[in-house]
Amino acid sequence: MLDNSNFPNTFFFKNKLLSLNAVESHNVYGERLMNFSQKQYREWNVMRSKLGAGIKKGIENFGIKRDSLILYLGAASGTTVSHVSDILDKGFVFAVEFSAQPFSKLLNESKIRNNIVPILSDANKIENYKEIVPMVDIVFQDISQKNQVFIFIENMKRYLKKEGYGYLSLKCKSIDVTRKNKEILDESEEILKDNGFTVIKSISLAPFEKDHYLTIVQFNDSPNKIDVNIQQRSREFDNSQRRFSSNNDNRDSGHFNNNNNNNDKLNNNFRREKKDNVEYRSKNNNSEYSSRNNNRNNNRNNNRNSSSENSNNRNDFNKYSSNNRNQERKTNSNSERKSYNNNDRKNKNNKSNDNSNFESFKKSQSNNRR
């Protein structure tokens, strides 16, 4: 009656994707529960989950096992993470989210499911969670930010085991609304390759998710570790994107199609910029701030003209930057941190089972940590 999917503990029933419910009679986001042969399953809404959409489209399973350790970036309130938790009946998912509101739901879910480790953090700040996250088998990312590819790379370099796999949900329009999805995909794949990852495959997630690809990579080389922080790289990426978009005629010889030169150029620029350290940072922070402000003002003036591509672009950017500022404010708020820490402590104290599970897991992992 149920057909196996390519992933553990997930099945198809009449074209619907299901996961074996790890917590009986409990649903997470209003999804239907179904019983077959004395087991309970949750319907996995593939319109609300990039991994779900990928599985529904028949993507092969690269490396996800019942006992895997998965670092999941952009967990939101835990819709997909809860299904990952169903898959990992012997593993753990380390779920990173920087927005306090969805995080509180994720936190509640983690009290019920003992294999979700919720982490309130910006995924750009990879060292923030080094005490919690061990080397993992899989890095899964669903973050719709302009610098999403760099966040993915940084986290894989820091946390992915050799021969582990990375799954990137690439939202092209978050990188550049004005360019074709395929161009963004090609560039992103090149950047991944330049950083030592083998791109195994990319599939479009249409019709379930518009403008999205799911790209799977494997870490089998030793990528050059570049001692430059992610913000600098992202800025360089933004600049090169601007250069790239403003030069349509020269796209074939553009910055990102010129692979080796591309990375060399990036790295040289970063090294040069790093030398100027303090001056560079303060200058850039100011200019970044003022350019955001200009954009906000421009956006106000252009709101009436919102159908034009440029104004879409600005809207997108402004949404991103204002969201970002709000999130920064939220996550920087001491009271929220305190309440998270308290909750976390309470949670740990209350859940003796979960606690012993995770604590013994942590002990067993501590030797493996870098």
Ramachandran bin of 316, using left for φ above 0, alpha for ψ from -120 to 50, beta for the remaining angles: alpha
Only one of the segments 98-106, 242-250, 333-341, 361-369 lies at the binding site for ligand SAM (rule: CB under 6 A); that segment is 98-106
| b/e burial code for range 59-71 (CB count within 10 A of at least 16 → b) | bebbbbbeebbbb
CB 182 within 8 A of CB 212: no
CA angle 140, 146, 148 (to 5 degrees): 15
Closest approach of Cβ 331 to ligand SAM, in Å?
9
How many angstroms separate the CA atoms of 88 and 215, rounded?
Answer: 21
Pick between residue 69 and residue 100 the one whose CB is nearest to ligand SAM. 100
189 binds ligand SAM (CB under 6 A): no
331 binds ligand SAM (CB under 6 A): no
Pick between residue 128 and residue 245 the one whose CB is nearest to ligand SAM. 128
* Footprint (CB under 6 A) of ligand SAM, residues 124-143: 124, 142-143
Give the per-residue contact string, 41-80, with ligand SAM (x = CB under 6 A; - = no). Answer: --------xx-----------------------xxx--xx
Pick between residue 170 and residue 254 the one whose CB is nearest to ligand SAM. 170
User: 33-36 and 16-20: which strand pairing?
Assistant: unpaired
Omega of the bond prior to 207 within 30 degrees of 0, cis? yes
DSSP readout, 31-66? --EEEETTEEEEE--TTS-HHHHHHHTTPPP-S--T
Among 31, 43, 86, 97, binds ligand SAM (CB under 6 A): 97
The footprint of ligand SAM on this chain (CB under 6 A) covers a number of residues equal to: 19
Pick between residue 22 and residue 254 the one whose CB is nearest to ligand SAM. 22
Residue ranges binding ligand SAM (CB under 6 A) = 49-50, 74-76, 79-80, 96-99, 102, 122-124, 142-145
